[in-house]
Chains A and B, each alone.
Chain A
């Protein structure tokens, strides 16, 4: 997925989903897949970049 092309609202929704998903891993003995942290970090970075970009 090319984050560049996603609307901000969609990125924010996905970030929220991943945070909620994190809560379920907190209750589980299963470790979250590493891709989850990678995706989260990429979304965070993209949102920070968009925020820093002059409108």
Chain B
């Protein structure tokens, strides 16, 4: 019996067609698979332990697809018992794929508890998730055990898969024109589409490659739209961020002199790095990994011909770029990481905490200064205890840019991301969507929207704030967050380009944005031309007690924020309601 090549030849390239050693694997697998799985024998005969040949398990993936196809033909209502039985069999198979051989072949390994089908309360959703997984495994250059291992660390992999299938079901031929047009309309705002096309042309992408990219871009946008429509407003905010990050990444790719191959990896890597966020607890820490390991192969697998070695390399590089995006901004990631790990440690008996607390600080230190921390092959090096803690918050590791052929692609995508803090999309996100003087969290409050403006109109008040270390919401994005994000970048050309981007944003802020906010606020308040602008809390008068706003202050803060968002959106070409979910009100 010979193993057929799977649909992604990169997986078996150079390994030759391995011969199955059926007898012992059949015996090994017949026990775990015999309970309720009609497919035990074909699965067993297809099973090829990677340890024996160094090869992945191609037939397992194919059999998984066959089982899923079979499950898909069942009516979820009428055939519910059969469907559940089949899903359990698939679950077991996935457990074995994640940890080949499990307890039978390797008694020292603990048995894996398969959990890819969740509690089977939602068979159609579960099935869609499993089909999505099969699609990923078929197209991903990663070994199945890596993908499944990542999922197994998550507390609810079935939900992750069902959600991924919901966001990225694939675009039907009938729906393609609508999705393409929606992207085109969206990118027309602010002239983004033309700017991206120009950059792609300058990088030497052919018409076919450009068309392919926009088809992928449209599918990713559709994923964000579905997420936002399901009620997750951060998906709207994240889309605004992603749509311009693509342009910033291309611009920095030009500045760094990336080749077409490198630039394409940067482009797709930046597109997928934030393509899978959900409202689960560890999503911020985790999202780059599923973006890389699930969404990139799923979507690119639909658009690229993965028989082409160039396309295989593009996918592999893209996945690393999306992964390595995890590194920044270091402080942003280190904070929630510490919070997540502390939750884990504090749930332990007191005598176990001290040693683990030291490990928590070790992890946080490495993530805060990722480029100085020891790493191997783009993964930070952690002690056994640190790894164990990371696994408890769903993380198999932490990726960093390193000396690899795609290093500059990673840097371009990282800088493209950090550029958000000096671009209007990002400033709106931080200064208007996230920060508020009435926030229950003191570190999310600012006494004014923009201290630059305060400095011009009320220098004494600005001076007082400076002495107290206080600043404005806009500066929270343009100053500290920006410099934090750039702390991992050492390339002089990238630093120069970003200095220029910051100076340009500051110039536009002073010349266009702030005067226009002032003009609209005066108009709104009916101030006579030539008359002095009255004190406006949060604009030209600092909030005296952030966190304890009076009703009048609250009303004025909301007006200032709304006007600021509108002005920044108009000047910066940002569609505040890109999916028209708010009836175009916001």
By a beta-carbon cutoff of 8 Å, the part of chain A in contact with chain B is: 8, 11-12, 15-33, 36-37, 40-41, 43-44, 47-48, 50-51
19 A-B Cβ contacts within 8 A?
A12-B469, A16-B471, A16-B480, A18-B443, A20-B329, A22-B435, A22-B443, A22-B444, A24-B336, A25-B339, A28-B285, A30-B281, A30-B282, A32-B335, A36-B443, A37-B442, A47-B468, A50-B467, A51-B467
Q: Which of B433, B435, B442 contacts A44 (CB 8 A)?
A: B442
Total number of residue pairs linking A and B with CB closer than 8 Å: 106
A31 to B329, CA, bound (A): 19
Query: A32 to B339, Cβ gap below 8 A?
Result: yes
Chain A residues contacting B120 (CB-CB under 8 Å) are none
Q: Are A27 and B284 in contact (CB under 8 A)?
A: yes
Beyond A15-B469, A16-B469, A22-B444, 11 additional pairs, beta carbon < 8 A: A16-B480, A18-B443, A19-B480, A20-B332, A21-B335, A23-B332, A24-B335, A26-B435, A28-B284, A28-B336, A37-B443
B43 to A: closest C-beta gap in Å: 37
Other-chain contact of A20, B467, B468, B484 (Cβ < 8 Å): B484
Say how far B152's CB is from chain A's closest CB, in angstroms: 21
Check A25–B471 contact: CB distance below 8 A.
Answer: no
Nearest CB of chain B from residue A31's CB, rounded to whole Å: 7
Residues of A within 8 A of B331 (CB): 17, 20-21, 24
A37 surroundings in chain B (CB, below 8 A): 441-443
- B residues whose Cβ falls under 8 Å from a Cβ of A: 234, 279-285, 329, 331-333, 335-336, 338-340, 342-343, 430, 433-435, 441-444, 446, 464, 467-471, 476-477, 479-481, 484
Main secondary structure of the interface of A (DSSP, over half): helix
Bound-state Cα–Cα, A20 to B421, Å: 11
Residues of B within 8 A of A26 (CB): 433-435, 444
Asked whether, in the complex, the Cβ of A27 is within 8 Å of the Cβ of B468, the reply is no
A51 CA to B470 CA, complexed, in Å:
12
Given contacts A31-B339, A33-B338, contact A23 B282 (CB under 8 A): no
Most chain A C-beta atoms within 10 Å of own C-beta, residue among B282, B340, B469, B479: B469
B342–A33 CB distance below 8 A: yes
Q: Which of A17, A28, A41, A50 contacts B480 (CB 8 A)?
A: A17
Cβ contacts under 8 Å, A24 to chain B = 284, 329, 331-333, 335-336
Taken together as a complex, chains A and B put the C-alpha atoms of A51 and B468 apart, in Å, by: 7
Partner of B469, one of A21, A25, A43: A43
Q: A16-B471, A23-B434 known; A29 and B283 CB under 8 Å?
A: yes
Q: Determine which residue in B329, B336, B443, B467 has the highest number of CB atoms from chain A within 10 A of its CB, and name it.
A: B443
Q: In the complex, A31→B282 CA distance in Å?
A: 11
What residue of chain A has the Cβ atom nearest to residue B482's Cβ? A20
Q: How many angstroms between the C-alpha atoms of A26 and B283 in the bound complex?
A: 12
Residues in chain B near residue A31, CB distance under 8 A: 339
A47 contacts which chain B residues (CB < 8 A)?
A: 467-469
Determine if A11 and B469 form an interchain contact, defined as CB atoms under 8 angstroms apart.
Answer: yes
- The docked-state distance in angstroms from the alpha carbon of A23 to that of B125 is 34
Rounded to whole angstroms, the CA-CA distance of A11 and B391 in the bound complex is 35
Q: B residues within 8 A CB of A43? A: 469
CB-CB nearest in chain A for B280:
A29
Q: Is the CB of A27 within 8 A of B234?
A: yes
The interface residues of chain A lying within 8 Å CB-to-CB of B335 are 21, 24-25, 32, 36
Would B339 and A33 count as touching, CB distance under 8 A?
Answer: yes
How far, in whole Å, are A23 and B279 apart by their CA atoms in the complex? 16
Q: Closest CB of chain A to B196's CB: distance in Å?
A: 25
